[in-house]
């Protein structure tokens, strides 16, 4: 478990957080037109930074 701060409160995560700079595994997203896109097949996303929220 990792500890993070959320609005000044300590929160425990489920599992460990990845290290800074870790490359994300390939995943699939749904675009606004409901078509799918895999990040590994999109050169526009290859070096993009993203913040993901689940």
Read off the pLDDT of residues 3-21 as tens digits, 9 standing for 90 and up: 889 899 999 988 888 888 8
Cα pseudo-dihedral 21, 51, 24, 29, rounded to 10: -160
pTM of the predicted model as reported, rounded to 2 decimal places? 0.39
Q: Is residue 24 part of a domain?
A: yes
CA 11/CA 29 separation, integer angstroms? 27
Residues 6+ apart with CB under 8 A from 46: none
Query: Is residue 52 one of the residues assigned to a domain?
Result: no
pLDDT in tens, 18-37: 888 887 777 888 888 999 88
Q: Which two tokens stand for residue 38?
A: 């895999």
Residue 54 lies inside a defined structural domain of this protein:
no
Residue 17 belongs to some domain of the structure: yes
Domain of 28, in residue numbers: 3-45
Count of structural domains within the chain: 1
């Amino acid at each position: 478990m990792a500890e993070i701060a959320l609005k000044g409160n300590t929160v425990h995560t489920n599992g460990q957080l990845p290290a800074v700079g870790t490359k994300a595994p390939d995943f699939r997203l749904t675009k606004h037109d409901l078509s799918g896109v895999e990040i590994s097949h999109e050169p526009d996303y290859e070096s993009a930074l993203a913040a993901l929220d689940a």
